[in-house]
Structure 1
Amino acid sequence: MTPVRRSHLHSAAFLLLCAALTAPAVFAQDFGQPGQYSLETYKPKKPSSPYGWKVDVTYPTGDSGSFPLIFMFNGMECQASWYKDIVDHVASWGYVIVQYTMGPSYPFKFGEVKEVEYLTPLLRWLEKDAPVQEPKLAGKIDFSRKAVMGHSRGGKLASLHYANSTNNFTTAVLFDPVDCSREAQGDTHPSAIAALAGVNAACDVIHPAPHGTSTLSAAIIGAGITSGGCNPVENNADAFFGTLSTESLYIKVKEAGHMTFAQPPTWSWFYSIYNNMCGSCSCSNITSQEVISEARTMAVAWLESKLRPSQDTTAHLARYKEHLMTLTVKGVETVHWPFEGVSAGSLLGTDVEVSAGAAAAV
């Protein structure tokens, strides 16, 4: 090989190596950045939606075609507005997100067995009546691509819907989900952990199934601080992960409490009491806003991987994994990473260390 040709090859290899090493770092938090879409929220009056419950529909503005549909379920007695940071961030990436807020006594009186029946008429309303009431919604929703998200009891509801094939949800994102608790026992409270494993069981008889019994995968972010009244050990995020398939993503925030994943827009005495009851750590290395930021980033990463898989998504996942590795000092542990061949320092699914080695050998 001539010296001139060798010099050119070395220069090209050096540039390739620099690009491989620097690109992931520049875009390490891609999924954590707001998406390209501006948003609007439609809040119909009570008589406009099934059961008269308050419904919020957050959607991208403009004439950009239809978007996947995501149902976001609140925690026990929590308000839809408490999840605004998560909802707005995910919706800005090109998703229509629907939330509802029911009366405070409903969960205790009827349980999840009745509440899951609400979704079918709500879907019909979204398809037929909502676009008439709010013309900006016409053509916005791609009903062939649907997923569920939820926090606490909302994570249980999301899992019950995901396990039930009636409405054909593609996947689920769970924020510190809770299955059974002291307040949720009996036939009106079916076990979501059992449902994910294909078993129909009430909360008073179910024992968490062993890992790998479900064929369904989900993304989970869980709190490291547990409370028997809020996220009991045998029915918390660990238990959900133990039942879901090994294709699931699981992140744990060791110093986060159960209510850290929600934040009211203004001070709320109810939230303050709930937060204290469910456990919190004033000496935590990570703030509530940081926890919420990681929750919404995980949601985008997972939904993009399932609803918009592409080479670009793979590259973003590699950068996301690199970002997660920087969070160990904050007590954020990546318990399980399911994306085979996608690791920190990889670009478009190709390991950077391999590319660097190959470049150096030229």
Structure 2
Amino acid sequence: MASLEAQPVAATTNVFQPGGVECKKFKVDSSPPKPLLIFTPIVAGEYPVILFCHGFALPRSFYSDLLHHIASHGYIVVAPQFCVIYEWMPMLPYCEIKCAGQVADWIAEKLQSLLPENVIANVGKFVMAGHSRGGKTAFAVALGYAKTKLSISALVGVDPVAGANKYCRTSPWILNGKPGSFKLSMPVAIIGTGLGPEKADYCCSKPCAPEGVNHKNFFLDSNPPCAYFVAKEYGHMDMLNDNLEGVLGDVANCLCKNGTGHKDCMRRTVGGLIVAFLRAHLDLHTHDLDAIVANPSLAPATLDPAKYIKAP
């Protein structure tokens, strides 16, 4: 494996700022396999499609600011709402993975008819992505645990988590603990958090992204090409919206160890890294990814590590 060496890059990158493509969001709750929240450009053009899977028991709306940032750079983002069932129920992970595959098939067959005039969904550039357990769901679909008509062009895990801890595994168990053992056919980006493995500041708390089942392990098992970034000073929920409504919002705000920086910095960092990675692999425009690897201080959040492993 050859690691991309850090070289001086003179120009900066715009991926950490909102993009210049005007977007809208809308809900589709009637006919798909799961209720959907869709972010789409309204400017005529052809755009890649991202299926984004939310974390355990989190409403899809909690990711609105992050997903709008990504869409504003020229992507259609489809965010399904999976079942909210307690984690220990053994059928849930399989249910989410199966449903993600069904949503992918719906994207292939029905998405285009709902988009604005002259906006074309390029399903030939289809991306699976997800946060926390949704990151595991995205990886599981890519690994073939759900069948879909679409070929996956790229895979993104945002602080992915494979279970409550390495001793309490949710099925299917996808981690192998061996370098490159996933043997995925598509490029992978993993964005982790430095505070995810730490407990929140209250009694009896547990880490939201425990050691042994978090981004480090997903990166270990991933094969090149693979990008790996860790937002050192931020926590597992810091890429969500500022104002989270309801009981689930209260839980999300206190359940995990949070960073002291503004969440907008984390959202722009995560969104920008995803855009840079997808530009490199879907459009072969590598400048942004090269620039960030060479100079991680371009990102609003501190990135350590920030690396990209090329294919052999």
Task: State the TM-score bracket (shorter-chain normalisation).
Answer: 0.7 to 0.9
1:254 aligned residue? 232
More helix by share: 1
1:180 aligned residue? 163
The answer to whether structure 1 residue 211 and structure 2 residue 194 are counterparts is no
1:304 aligned residue? 279
Q: Tell me, in whole angstroms, the C-alpha distance in 2 between the residues paired with 1:190 and 1:315.
A: 37
2:308 aligned residue? 337
Match of 2:173 among 171, 191, 201: 191
The answer to whether structure 1 residue 141 and structure 2 residue 121 are counterparts is yes
Q: Is the radius of gyration larger for structure 1 or structure 2? A: 1
The answer to whether structure 1 residue 56 and structure 2 residue 56 are counterparts is no
2:286 aligned residue? 314
Moved over 6 A (4+): none
2:3 aligned residue? none
Following TM superposition, by how much is the alpha carbon of 1:70 offset from its aligned partner in structure 2, in angstroms? 0.7
TM-score by length of 2: 0.81
Following TM superposition, by how much is the alpha carbon of 1:107 offset from its aligned partner in structure 2, in angstroms? 5.7
1:121 aligned residue? 102
SS of the aligned residue for 2:274 comes to helix
| Alignment-mate amino acid for residue 224 of structure 1 | G
Q: Tell me, in whole angstroms, the C-alpha distance in 2 between the residues paired with 1:252 and 1:278.
A: 17
2:18 aligned residue? 34
Q: Tell me, in whole angstroms, the C-alpha distance in 1 between the residues paired with 2:221 and 2:303.
A: 22
* Most deviating of 237-246 and 122-131: 122-131
Matches within 5 A, 1:1-362: 24-25=9-10, 27-44=11-28, 46-50=29-33, 53-64=34-45, 66-105=46-85, 109=89, 110-132=91-113, 134=114, 136=116, 140-164=120-144, 166=148, 167-181=150-164, 189-193=171-175, 208-216=176-184, 217-225=187-195, 226-227=197-198, 228-281=206-259, 284=260, 286-309=261-284, 313-325=285-297, 331-338=302-309
Deviations 1:209-249 (A, max 9, x none): 12232333411111112144421100001111111124311
SS of the aligned residue for 2:163 comes to coil
2:203 aligned residue? none
| Alignment-mate amino acid for residue 54 of structure 1 | P
Following TM superposition, by how much is the alpha carbon of 1:149 offset from its aligned partner in structure 2, in angstroms? 1.2
TM-score by length of 1: 0.71
Unaligned residue ranges in structure 2 (runs of 5+): 1-7, 199-205
Tell me if structure 1 keeps the 8 A contact 2:166–2:213: no
Tell me if structure 2 keeps the 8 A contact 1:175–1:261: no
Following TM superposition, by how much is the alpha carbon of 1:105 offset from its aligned partner in structure 2, in angstroms? 1.8
Tell me if structure 1 keeps the 8 A contact 2:16–2:269: yes
More strand by share: 2
Q: Tell me, in whole angstroms, the C-alpha distance in 1 between the residues paired with 2:192 and 2:52.
A: 17
Deviations 1:117-160 (A, max 9, x none): 2234323433444444x362776211211111111011101111
Following TM superposition, by how much is the alpha carbon of 1:300 offset from its aligned partner in structure 2, in angstroms? 0.4
Following TM superposition, by how much is the alpha carbon of 1:268 offset from its aligned partner in structure 2, in angstroms? 4.6
1:17 aligned residue? none
Deviations 1:319-362 (A, max 9, x none): 3334414569x64212433359xxxxxxxxxxxxxxxxxxxxxx
Q: Which has the higher contact order (CA 8 A, sep 6+)?
A: 2
CA-based RMSD: 2.9
Tell me if structure 2 keeps the 8 A contact 1:150–1:157: yes
| Alignment-mate amino acid for residue 290 of structure 1 | C
| Alignment-mate amino acid for residue 169 of structure 1 | I
| Alignment-mate amino acid for residue 125 of structure 2 | R
| Alignment-mate amino acid for residue 81 of structure 1 | S
Q: Tell me, in whole angstroms, the C-alpha distance in 1 between the residues paired with 2:304 and 2:81.
A: 32
Following TM superposition, by how much is the alpha carbon of 1:256 offset from its aligned partner in structure 2, in angstroms? 1.5
Q: Tell me, in whole angstroms, the C-alpha distance in 1 between the residues paired with 2:32 and 2:118.
A: 16
Q: Tell me, in whole angstroms, the C-alpha distance in 2 between the residues paired with 1:140 and 1:150.
A: 23
